[in-house]
Amino acid sequence: MTELIPAPRSATAGSGEVRLTHRSRLCADTATQGVAHWLGAALRQATGLPLREGRELDDAEGGIELRLAPGLGPEEYRLVSDGSGVLVEGGSAAGVFWGAQTLRQLLGPDAYRRAPLDRDRAWSVPRLTIEDAPRFRWRGLMLDVARHFMPKEGVLRYLDLMAAHKLNVFHFHLTDDQGWRIEIERHPRLTEIGSWRARTKTGHRASPLWEDKPHGGYYTRDDIREIVAYAAERHITVVPEIDVPGHSQAAIAAYPELGNTDVIDTTSLSVWDTWGINPNVLAPTDNTLRFYEGVFEEVLELFPSQFVHVGGDECPKDQWRRSETAQARIRELGLADEDELQSWFIKHFDAWLSARGRRLIGWDEILEGGLAEGAAVSSWRGYAGGVAAARAGHDVVMCPEQQVYLDHRQDPGPEEPVPIGWVRTLEDVYRFEPVPPELTPEEARHVLGTQANLWTEVMEDHARVDYQAFPRLAAFAEVAWSALPAPAERDFAGFQSRMAAHYGRLDALGVAYRPPAGPLPWQRRPGVLGRPIDGPPPHR
C-alpha cells in the first residue's frame, strides 16, 4: 500500500485519499517552523502548489499540519491523513521531520523533482495512519572525501539523500594520507600543501594505471559552517574525523616535523598518491600533541557534535620501533610497548576532548593497549571490536567491513566496476544485524547504532559514489530504522517490491544507482584492476 522505505512500525489503511490543491495550506507551530520551511520548499518546487504557510488549517481548504505531540519519543512520529487533511505529529522537531519525509514518499516519485512536470496534475496521499519510530539513535553514513575530494555541493546532496532515508549521522572523513580537506587557520600549509597530490593511482594499489594530473580540494571554514547548518536543518549530526596517529602523510608532507624525523627524511615526503596502509605516522612528541590540539580547537569551533572521531586505525609501529624519540617516550611513560604508546596518544586526546565537553570515538584499533574511559568505538574489523567494547562498558557503533563497507563489490560478475572486497549484495545488506547476538541485554544497550561506510579510493566522482552506495544504502537505512525480524526471517521479497517504487524516487533525485540487472555500459571500468576476495566473508 505505502511502498515506504524504511518500513514504518505500523500503517493502517483508511478509505479514499487526501487531495492537495492550490488552496491547501501548510501549518506549523513555533517548534515545527523549521520543518515547515523545509517541507514547503521541497513540495513547492516539485508540485507547483503555493502551500501557503499558516498557524492552523482551515477545514474548507485542508492541507498539511505539523505539530509536536508530547507523548511521543524524540524521533517518533505519527502521520494521519483523513478528511481534514494530513497531520504529522512528532515528539520533537526531528520526529516531525521524519514524518515529513514519509509524507513526501506518499506523494510519489515526482515529489522529489526540482520543478513540476505538469502544473495541472492532481496530488494526493492515501488516507491512512502511520505510527513510527527508529530502532537506533545512530543511523550513520561515513563519507571519505580524503581519497577523492567531493566538492561542497556534492556533500550537501548526500545530506539530502541521507535525510530522504531517515539517516541522522554524517561521519565526515576529512583527513588521510592522500589529502587534508579542512581549512585550519593556524596551520595554513595543511591545505596549501596537504590538500592536493600530483597524481592518483587508478584502481587498486597493484594496478599499473595512473591518472597523471593533480587532484585536490578542501572545505573552507565557511564551507564547513554551511555543511553543518544544512545538516542541522535536516536533523543530521556531522561527526568530523581527523586521523591520528596513522593515516597522516598529508599532514607530515605539509609539516615535516610532525613525522619521525630521526628515522626518515620527512622533508622528502609528499601527499601520498596511492592506496594502502602507509608507514609514515605521527611522532609521539609534545610538538605533535600541541599541533593537533590546535587543529582540534578549530574543529570544535566548527562542529557542535558531541562526538569527535580521531581515527586511530591502521597505525604501523615500525617507525616507532626504530625511533629513539619514540622509545624514549615509552620508557618515560613506563609503557610496555608501541601498542601502549598508541593507547597513550589516543588517551591524551580523549582527556583533552572530555575536558571540553566532547567525546572521543575511534576505529576499533583504539582498544589495543587499553581504552580511555568514556571513549566510544567504531567497530569495523568485524563484530569482535564491538563485542569487546560493549562488554567493557564502552559505547559502540557497528560498521563491520564484512557487512556494510559499501566500497565492496555488489556482484561477482566480471562487469562489476573495480571489484573490491567481498560480494555484498542488496540482500546481504538487508540481512545485516547490527547487534551481536552474544551480547547480553545490558551489554547491547551500549550499541548506539550502526553505520555504512563509503571509502573512495576507487570512486573518482559522485557518480561512482552513487553506484556503490545505492540501492544498498536504502537497505541499510531500513536495517538502521525499522524493527526487523531476525536476518533469516526478513521479507527480502517484500523489500524488493517496495524498491520498485523507490527506484523511481532515486531516478527523480538523479542518483546513479546500480540497476538490478547490473551496471550500465558507462558504469563499468573495464581493465581497471580491483581487489576481489573470493568466498563468503567471515561472519564475525
What positions carry a catalytic annotation?
Answer: 176, 247, 314
Region of residue 357 (phi > 0: left; psi between -120 and 50: alpha; otherwise: beta): left
Collapse the DSSP code of 500 into the 3-class scheme (helix H, G, I; strand E, B; otherwise coil) and give the result. Answer: helix
Q: Is the CB of residue 314 less than 8 Å from the CB of residue 246? A: yes
Element (H, E) at 106: helix 93-106
According to DSSP, the β-strands at 52-54 and 25-28 are: parallel
Q: Is the CB of residue 343 less than 8 Å from the CB of residue 366? A: yes
Residue indicated by cell numbers 587532484: 215
Collapse the DSSP code of 246 into the 3-class scheme (helix H, G, I; strand E, B; otherwise coil) and give the result. Answer: coil
Q: What is the largest CA-CA distance in the chain?
A: 81
According to DSSP, the β-strands at 63-68 and 179-180 are: unpaired
**509/477 Cα distance (integer angstroms):** 17
How many CA atoms are closer than 13 Å to the CA of 214, on its beta-carbon side? 9
537 DSSP assignment: P
Collapse the DSSP code of 383 into the 3-class scheme (helix H, G, I; strand E, B; otherwise coil) and give the result. Answer: coil
**193/216 Cα distance (integer angstroms):** 10
Residue indicated by cell numbers 552474544: 438
**69/188 Cα distance (integer angstroms):** 48
How do the residues of the chain divide into helix, strand and coil, expressed in percent and rounded to 5?
35, 20, 45
Q: Is the CB of residue 237 less than 8 Å from the CB of residue 170? A: yes
Q: Is the CB of residue 473 less than 8 Å from the CB of residue 481? A: no
Element (H, E) at 36: helix 33-47
According to DSSP, the β-strands at 179-180 and 175-176 are: antiparallel
70: burial class by Cβ within 10 Å (0-12, 13-18, 19+)?
exposed
Please count the helices (runs of H) and the strands (runs of E) in the chain.
17, 23
Q: Is the CB of residue 384 less than 8 Å from the CB of residue 390? A: no
Alpha helices in 424-490 (DSSP H): 426-430, 441-444, 462-469, 472-481
